[in-house]
Amino acid sequence: MTKKSFRLNQEHIIGLVCLIVSATILSITPSFPKGKANIGLTGPAFFPDLLALVFVFCGGYQLWYGTVNATAYSSITLNTFRNLLKKKETRTAYLVILYMVGFILLFDVLGFLLTTFLFLTLFLFRLGVPKLQTLLYATFFTAIIYFLFGWLFTISLPSGILAYVGL
């Protein structure tokens, strides 16, 4: 009888990412305000917690599936990552993650309107949308999101540097 060695594959990576995301969400949401009668079921943490629990289930399933069907997938090595970086799709995915981090870091400083417009413009340019359409879409969707959340749902969105000009 030969001993099987563990080989990390793409299913394991997906499962681990799901578990890391869910652990991050579950560690942040206890600081959210409580809902009615201090019950978390109606508060702002309800949906993130629910999604985090779904991610825990999906992550566990992916880990199990990747182990049971390990022979169906090639193992992940350092060369796998090198080859992935050569693909435009992978570079775009990393750039999108970088854009999201930038959005989070600049959100309070630049404010909702400028940050959203800037990052929608960057996303659309990266996706190859023509310049005029990019500017129109970014303007339109920034305005729609602002009116939905800032006006209709009365959620306070940061003004950032626009506060100095009265916006």
Half-sphere exposure of 76 (CA within 13 A, CB side): 10
Count of domains observed in the chain: 2
pLDDT digits (tens, 9 = 90+) for 142-163: 999 999 888 877 778 888 887 7
Residue 91 and residue 161 share a domain? yes
Residue 30 and residue 93 share a domain? no
pLDDT digits (tens, 9 = 90+) for 13-70: 889 999 999 999 999 988 877 766 655 556 777 888 899 999 999 999 999 998 888 8
Residue 159 and residue 101 share a domain? yes
81 in any annotated domain: no
Cα separation, 141 vs 152, in Å, equals 15
Domain that holds residue 157: 87-165
Consecutive H or E run containing 112: helix 112-126
117 in any annotated domain: yes
pTM of the model: 0.59
Compare 14 and 71 and report the one with higher pLDDT.
14
